[in-house]
Structure 1
Amino acid sequence: MFSPDLKQALPTTDELPCSDDTPVDNEDQNFLPNVLLFLLNSIWANRMDWYFGVDMGVYHTTGVNPRVPVVPDGFLSLGVERKKGGKSRKSYAVWEENEVVPILTLEMVSHTPGGEYDEKMDIYVKLGVLYYVIYNPEFWRRDQHQPFEVYKLINGNYQLQIGEPYWMPEVGLGIGRYQGTVAGIQQELLSWYDQQGDRYLRAEEQAEQERIRAEQERIRAEQLAEYLRSLGIDPDNLPTAN
């Protein structure tokens, strides 16, 4: 718990940079976390007690200086306002969030190593982040790790978990990879999953499923009409029950 005097001395998010201004190595570092964010906007559309940040500074007091943030590619916090005071956040300061730390952080490994397996892992341990996801589709052999790893904080240490998609009961979601198509481009994507291991569909996928379903209904109706005509029955002038 922060003492009132400490809270008074800490800077506000209006005074802090939104990130560390370090440019990303590739577009997926921004794109894939946003895919997860947009999907959450659909899954949890009626919930106002969560926040998912993308490339945003997380300020905390477990480091050497509360003005130096850790900047995950993505992070999820539960039990906080979707819009803090009705406004968009510039950054995430733990002392302004009723001391709620992210329950999940996501780091995407790029050509330039960013301390995902050591420095950042140590920071998230101290911060108390329950789940730490490292996505490393291109350089996992270089780093001697797997392309997709989920770590859980157990007794003060991160332990690598088994299974994909991996179900996180404290979050109420699973996370994993799949091959999908976005804007006509096929690639590996990250997604949320339900407890049965079924992937939540993106809005455009749901729309496409509805289109296919409607088309199948239309074809079935035409086939039925053709069958009735073969029996000498006018499908447009069927008798109605009294």
Structure 2
Amino acid sequence: MVQYNPLSSESLETEFFLESDETPVDNELQNLVPNLLLSILCLIWSNRQDWFFGVDMAIYYASDRPAIVPDGFLSLGVERFSGKNGRLSYILKRENEVAPILVLEVVSNTYRGEYNQKKMDYAELGVLYYVIYDSGRYHSRHGDAFEVHKLVNGVYQRLSGEPVWMPEIGLGIGREIGTYEGWRREWLYWYDSEGNRFSHSQELLEQERQLREQERQLRENLLAKLREKGIDPDTL
């Protein structure tokens, strides 16, 4: 998250705002992790149009306050797609004052206050769930590798267990080893109420490929057994 000078009311009206924080990430997981979560939502919520998941997108919540840019955030009760070309930024004024219900920060190689200052920033914004993921344990002295905090009476309280179930969202979130974009490692995933992990599209395609391969092998084995018995499959 990077802060900017406040936008004037005029600049908000003319949509003169930043599309992202314009700061190169120092860890490619800062983009891959939230993009994986987005790709799963696009599958499991494909029939819903009342949600938006932003990646590296500026959030403007007051004309006299600086924008904030989380690595990822989820809003419910807003239009899935807005405008002809989609959103360039997320402006609460234009979203009926609907603040994100969840914000994700992937800890940078350069520590940027994920465990302290940003918690205060998101509490002020009214974000219900704040997720911190330290993919490389770069700053384990500040906190654990994976934390989910819930806003209670204006203060974040850390939730226990994993995956962590979030009833207001209807999803859980947690970590698991898997493969995404050809990279096998630990990733963040969404889970159902029973703790079952949702798959992303690449995994589903691979599962379909493996199923087709199994069916092909079964068919070839069956044909081979018929030939061993002197039966020509082509005459059946």
TM-score category by the smaller chain?
0.7 to 0.9
User: Following the alignment from structure 2 to structure 1, what is the Cα–Cα distance between the partners of residues 149 and 68?
Assistant: 18
User: Following the alignment from structure 2 to structure 1, what is the Cα–Cα distance between the partners of residues 140 and 115?
Assistant: 13
| Alignment-derived partner of residue 118 in structure 2 | 120
Aligned 8 A contact 1:77 1:104 in 2: yes
Counterpart residue type for residue 100 of structure 2: P
Matched-pair identity in %? 54
Counterpart residue type for residue 192 of structure 2: D
**Aligned to 2:54, what secondary structure does the other structure show?**
strand
Structure 1 residues 169, 10: CA separation in 2 closer, same or farther (over 3 Å shift)? Answer: farther
| Alignment-derived partner of residue 29 in structure 1 | 30
Structure 1 residues 126, 184: CA separation in 2 closer, same or farther (over 3 Å shift)? Answer: closer
**Aligned to 1:100, what secondary structure does the other structure show?**
coil
- The structural deviation recorded for 1:12 is 3.1
Higher relative contact order at CA 8 Å, sep ≥6: structure 1 or structure 2?
A: 2
Aligned 8 A contact 1:17 1:57 in 2: yes
> Which structure 1 residue ranges, 5 or more long, are not aligned?
1-7
**Aligned to 1:52, what secondary structure does the other structure show?**
strand
| Alignment-derived partner of residue 167 in structure 1 | 165
| Alignment-derived partner of residue 198 in structure 2 | 200
Aligned residues: 228
CA displacement 1:10-36 (0-9 Å, x = unmatched): 823712223343332221112211111
TM-score by structure 1 length? 0.84
User: Following the alignment from structure 1 to structure 2, what is the Cα–Cα distance between the partners of residues 10 and 126?
Assistant: 23
Compare 82-91 and 70-79 and name the one that shifted more: 82-91
User: Following the alignment from structure 2 to structure 1, what is the Cα–Cα distance between the partners of residues 224 and 74?
Assistant: 54
Which entry has the higher C-alpha Rg, 1 or 2?
A: 1
- The structural deviation recorded for 1:147 is 0.2
CA displacement 1:22-68 (0-9 Å, x = unmatched): 3322211122111111222222222111111111111113xx923x1
| Alignment-derived partner of residue 64 in structure 2 | 65
Of 71, 75, 78, 1:77 maps to 75
User: Following the alignment from structure 1 to structure 2, what is the Cα–Cα distance between the partners of residues 193 and 178?
Assistant: 11
TM-score by structure 2 length? 0.86
Structure 1 residues 11, 116: CA separation in 2 closer, same or farther (over 3 Å shift)? Answer: same
Aligned 8 A contact 2:130 2:149 in 1: yes
| Alignment-derived partner of residue 149 in structure 2 | 151
Aligned 8 A contact 1:193 1:199 in 2: yes
- The structural deviation recorded for 1:93 is 0.8
**Aligned to 1:142, what secondary structure does the other structure show?**
coil
| Alignment-derived partner of residue 180 in structure 1 | 178
Query: How big is the alpha-carbon RMSD for the aligned residues of Structure 1 and Structure 2?
Result: 2.3
Residue 47 (structure 2) pairs with residue 46 (structure 1): yes
Aligned 8 A contact 1:105 1:132 in 2: yes
> Which structure 2 residue ranges, 5 or more long, are not aligned?
1-8
Structure 1 residues 10, 99: CA separation in 2 closer, same or farther (over 3 Å shift)? Answer: farther
Aligned 8 A contact 1:13 1:93 in 2: no
User: Following the alignment from structure 2 to structure 1, what is the Cα–Cα distance between the partners of residues 153 and 11?
Assistant: 29
- The structural deviation recorded for 1:90 is 0.9
| Alignment-derived partner of residue 17 in structure 1 | 18
User: Following the alignment from structure 1 to structure 2, what is the Cα–Cα distance between the partners of residues 38 and 163?
Assistant: 24
Counterpart residue type for residue 132 of structure 2: I
